[in-house]
A and B are shown apart, each in its own frame.
Chain A
């Protein structure tokens, strides 16, 4: 292989666009396969099973759910994790929005705050109770990571929350939220795109979503076709990347690369 040609492919962005297109086609193929099945084929993630049970219990016992979307904005890479959290938010509101204590959502960024309120309002419109919507259900707790944590702690401590779902971009401060939740005896489900937050989350909570598990909430809680299909495409491409890394490693050892 001519290295100059290889570098041109990498530099020109063709490789990136090709990867995205492969992902797109894999999603379409997976969606067709998923539609033909009666039950979606998903590996068991205990945290999601526990979360589902906890959501149902909260609805039945009239307790509040808290979804924390972190302090990442959609203008950065970190926004992806908050968008995954927003998908879950709609589902949470469909399940518990009409209870006496509707879920409360906190975010640390203006754009995510606007999107969270838009999602909540849309669910109320969907079920025909637009007047039930309260703009303060989607709160912006603080606009810096520190102030966000400081503003979210009172929600966990004072609002009789039974389940705290921390799903978004956090740093090591996630320990403060998990600790507050633990002190209140609430279930804590944590997932972040940040490595530090994942390490801290491992120590501070029993129910951690590691790596890409965070983005699978739609498939496990909503089980819509495209969510499941994107999860299958993700799995396929992960195995492809593993194969490429192993082959490249072997070629490097053999002195070819």
Chain B
């Protein structure tokens, strides 16, 4: 019975994938309508998955608080904050003054703090790269970082001659070329992953 159920699940995934893929490339009205209908279903599933995700988040943090794991108090604060936000936004509406107050005075400062910490960590990461041992590639990496930073800023209106042009050349020629090469690889990898799922040989959704 389980085998039959698994085969049905794989068949649904494969057929849906093929309809969406072919419908994307070929403009047939029947295929187009079917594709749009399936995509609408997908949007509903994604919205439900979002709710499931929030429930899972609460489950994980409640368990952490109950088991008195390190940082359990923060988990309780997270759950209380989540409930307060849901009640406030649900009662007053997402664009009301209390909802916007939460957004402007809690969420934005917390996100900004994370970005601030990230700036420090990125600087430290650069130093750690040099500490790991300087080779040709790490030297090129750090030299490029320095040229791009120094070529972007000016010191009291003074710019090092030629550095800005060198920065422009680096960001527009070798950096773009390299990025495109990597993105081509990523695109091929994404196609390969999609093809394996379409063929049913890769099943990232259970058995």
Interface on A for B, CB 8 Å cutoff? 12-14, 16-17, 20, 23-24, 27, 73-75, 77, 80-81, 83-84, 86-87, 89-90, 109-111, 113-115, 117-119, 121-122, 125-126, 135-136, 138-143, 146, 149-151, 154, 158, 172-173, 175-176, 178-179, 182, 193, 195, 198, 200, 202-204, 206, 210-216, 218, 224-227, 230-231, 233-234, 237-238, 241
Residues in A with CB closer than 8 Å to B48 are: 110
Whether the pair B59, A135 counts as a contact (CB closer than 8 A) is yes
Shortest B21–chain A CB gap in Å is 7
Residues in B with CB closer than 8 Å to A141 are: 57
Interface residue? B45 (CB, 8 A): yes
A-B contact pairs, 21 of them (CB 8 A): A12-B27, A13-B26, A110-B54, A114-B52, A114-B53, A136-B59, A138-B56, A139-B57, A140-B57, A141-B57, A146-B114, A175-B118, A176-B114, A195-B183, A200-B125, A210-B185, A211-B181, A211-B185, A218-B196, A218-B202, A237-B188
Most buried by A among B46, B141, B188, B205: B188
Whether the pair A154, B45 counts as a contact (CB closer than 8 A) is no
Q: Which residues of B, 122-141, contact A by the 8 Å Cβ criterion? A: 122, 124-126, 128-129, 132, 141
Please, which residue of chain B has its CB at the minimum distance from the CB of A85?
B204
Q: Which residues of B, 36-86, contact A by the 8 Å Cβ criterion? A: 42-43, 45-46, 48-54, 56-57, 59-60, 63, 69-71, 74
CA distance A253 to B132 in the complex (A): 43
Judged by DSSP, the binding face of B is helix
Not counting A158-B70, A226-B201, A233-B192, a sample of 11 additional A-B residue pairs whose C-beta atoms are within 8 angstroms of each other reads: A17-B26, A74-B46, A113-B49, A126-B207, A135-B56, A136-B63, A143-B50, A143-B53, A173-B118, A179-B121, A214-B186
Knowing A13-B24, A113-B56, say if A87 contacts B49 (CB, 8 Å).
no
Residues in A with CB closer than 8 Å to B202 are: 83, 87, 218, 226-227
Whether the pair A119, B204 counts as a contact (CB closer than 8 A) is yes
Whether the pair B204, A122 counts as a contact (CB closer than 8 A) is no
Shortest B8–chain A CB gap in Å is 15
Knowing A114-B52, A202-B141, say if A119 contacts B205 (CB, 8 Å).
yes
Whether the pair B114, A149 counts as a contact (CB closer than 8 A) is yes
In the A-B complex, the 4 residue pairs with the closest CB atoms = A215-B189, A110-B53, A211-B185, A86-B204
CA distance A222 to B12 in the complex (A): 25
Residues in A with CB closer than 8 Å to B132 are: 206
Knowing A20-B21, A77-B190, A110-B50, say if A172 contacts B122 (CB, 8 Å).
yes
Please, which residue of chain B has its CB at the minimum distance from the CB of A86?
B204
Knowing A17-B25, A20-B21, A149-B114, say if A111 contacts B46 (CB, 8 Å).
yes
Shortest B91–chain A CB gap in Å is 21
CA distance A212 to B207 in the complex (A): 26
CA distance A200 to B129 in the complex (A): 11
Residues in B with CB closer than 8 Å to A83 are: 193-194, 197, 202, 204
Shortest A195–chain B CB gap in Å is 5
Whether the pair A23, B186 counts as a contact (CB closer than 8 A) is no
Interface residue? B111 (CB, 8 A): yes
